Amino acid sequence: MTRPSAESADRRAALAVELRRLHRKGVSQRGLAERFGINRRTVSALLAGPAARASVVGKRSAPVMAPFEQAVLHLLQAGVRSPAAVRRRLIADHGLPPSTAASTVRDFVNRRLGAASPLRPSTGVRFGDTASGAVEWYTPPEFFAALTDDNGAPINFDVDVAAPGVKGIVTNPHVSVPAGRFITKDLDALDPSTSWGTRTKCWMNPPYGSLLPKFTRRAVAHAADGGEVLALLPARTDTRWWHSTVMAHAHAVVFNRSRVRFIDSSGRRGESPAFGQVLVAYGPTFADLLERVALGPAALGSFVRLRDDAGQTRNQEEEAA
């Protein structure tokens, strides 16, 4: 009896990983069989068998790539998914030997893409001005330069409610939020005892994970108390929090024309994330600001006004008329 070659075993293991990933997302065994052109019994065996749990990376590739594991994870979290692009970045920025085979990097990247945990939002790694995970991503300074008043002067915020740092102090020079006060992670902006101020104008770039809906609910409450919040959020229009805290309460939205390339704590700009962003105004002043910058020279994106200054929706205005 002949044994399958190592290359064949690796391909089978890689297929098993991909089948399990898609199956977790809800693709049926029949759908998997049709997609990959294989028998349903083969699909069932790969989903249940030890090959599905086998590592895609051969033993020889692990010692070469092991020192670069965190760098690979950071690149994947920043939206760099192409193995070729990952290899170029590792060589240019992280000291990967140029002689490292492309297949070695490809197998290592595919293994990480097949793992569920590193890329889940619940890990705390996200795009924003603070983070609870391994990577912090900050809004680039030119983004704030586009936010100006009627006279062209930059907008200053009273509070940044999701800032990096400790005890309200931000020391990283790459944080460019123009705010007078910073609520850092240790101060917990979601704690009811942590005040966002009275009728203050806040900047909010919250964690893009499980905490995001809690931040948007707090923004709604702050606006209801007379304050205002300008938020940079992911454009996830198919989620409950979007409809319950943006469409139901925000005054205006700008759908950005391009994806924001955030910068990390060392000042290096990341790749374009895998999803677009929106600016959301909770309050009439910020709604007017968004309309001005969307239609003016900055042309940030497409402006949609959801409510008037009194908080009425367009439908309510039409009914009143």
pLDDT in tens, 138-165: 888 888 888 888 888 889 999 999 998 8
33/100 same-domain check: no
249 close to 282: Cβ distance less than 8 angstroms? yes
Share of the chain above pLDDT 70, in %: 78
Model confidence over 177-188: pLDDT tens digits? 999 999 998 899
Tell me which of 216 and 57 has the higher pLDDT.
216
CATH value at residue 301: 3.40.50
104/31 same-domain check: no
Continuous H helices in 59-114: 61-65, 69-77, 83-93, 102-114
Tell me which of 103 and 76 has the higher pLDDT.
103
Domain region containing 35? 1-54
Task: Output the pLDDT for position 135.
Answer: 56
Continuous H helices in the chain: 6-24, 29-36, 40-48, 61-65, 69-77, 83-93, 102-114, 141-145, 212-224, 240-241, 284-295, 314-320
DSSP 246-260: IITT-SEEEEESS--
Task: Output the pLDDT for position 114.
Answer: 56
4/17 same-domain check: yes
Model confidence over 256-277: pLDDT tens digits? 888 888 888 788 887 766 678 8
Task: Output the pLDDT for position 51.
Answer: 41
Written in H, E and C, the secondary structure of 44-65 is HHHHHCHHHHCCCCCCCHHHHH
Pairwise CA distance, residues 203 & 6, whole Å: 54
195/235 same-domain check: yes
Pairwise CA distance, residues 63 & 316, whole Å: 64
Task: Output the pLDDT for position 118.
Answer: 32
9 lies in a domain?
A: yes
Task: Output the pLDDT for position 279.
Answer: 95
Tell me which of 121 and 281 has the higher pLDDT.
281
CA distances from 231 to 92, 113, 159, 247, 250 (A): 34, 30, 12, 14, 10
26 lies in a domain?
A: yes
Give me the mean pLDDT over the 292-298 stretch: 77
Tell me which of 256 and 315 has the higher pLDDT.
256
For residue 288, name the pLDDT band (cuts at 50, 70, 90): very high
Pairwise CA distance, residues 269 & 174, whole Å: 11
Boundary-marking domain end, from 54, 74, 98? 54
Task: Output the pLDDT for position 44.
Answer: 84
Structure tokens at 298: 């900055």
Report the C-alpha dihedral over residues 131, 137, 138, 140, rounded to 10 degrees.
-160
100 close to 71: Cβ distance less than 8 angstroms? no
191/275 same-domain check: yes
Task: Output the pLDDT for position 108.
Answer: 84
Structure tokens at 307: 């409510």
157 close to 178: Cβ distance less than 8 angstroms? yes
128 contact partners, CB below 8 Å, separation of at least 6? 136, 137, 138, 139, 162, 205, 206, 207, 208, 232, 262
Tell me which of 252 and 103 has the higher pLDDT.
252
289 close to 147: Cβ distance less than 8 angstroms? yes
For residue 49, name the pLDDT band (cuts at 50, 70, 90): low
Task: Output the pLDDT for position 321.
Answer: 47
95/176 same-domain check: no
In eight-state DSSP terms, residue 84 is: H
23 lies in a domain?
A: yes
146/35 same-domain check: no
169/45 same-domain check: no
In eight-state DSSP terms, residue 293 is: H
Structure tokens at 74: 């950071």
One-letter amino acid for residue 125 of the chain:
V
Task: Output the pLDDT for position 297.
Answer: 66
For residue 74, name the pLDDT band (cuts at 50, 70, 90): confident
Residues β-bridged to residue 228:
201
Q: What is the pTM of this model?
A: 0.59
Give the count of domains, the chain: 3
Give me the mean pLDDT over the 29-55 stretch: 72
Residue 199 has pLDDT above 90, yes or no: yes
